Amino acid sequence: MMGRRGALLLLALAPALSGCPAASGGGYPMQVHGLTIERIDPDHRVLLADGLQIAGDARLAGALKGGGGTIRDVTVLERFPPVFVVTYDDGESRRYRSRRPRP
């Protein structure tokens, strides 16, 4: 059974779970598969508008910068902080950890 926290997290992350079609364009902030991206750092760290930082790699950064067209699906695992599972067009799935920055 899902607790109140889990239900709230699910509601907050619903756009990412829905696999929304990718938006084109390279300006920030941008919306890709339900994720609002503030910026992508040179070390492939993806900073989201809600404050989460995703420890990405070159493939994720390139796909997001390209508008997400090579990403088939983004699933968010219910953890604190969440883990993002990205499935690419070729069928490969990769897990990316996230974290909240320290104040």
Position 37 pLDDT exceeds 80: yes
Which helix (H) or strand (E) element contains residue 8?
A: helix 4-12
pLDDT band at 17 (very low <50, low <70, confident <90, very high): very low
Give the type of residue at 75: T
Position 22 pLDDT exceeds 80: no
Which carries the bigger pLDDT value, residue 11 or residue 47?
47
Q: Where are the domains of the chain?
A: 25-99
What tens digit of pLDDT does each residue of 75-94 get? 999 878 899 999 999 999 99
Tokens of 35: 């994720």
pLDDT of residue 19: 42
Q: What string of DSSP letters covers 59-71?
A: HHHHHHHTTSTTE
pLDDT of residue 26: 54
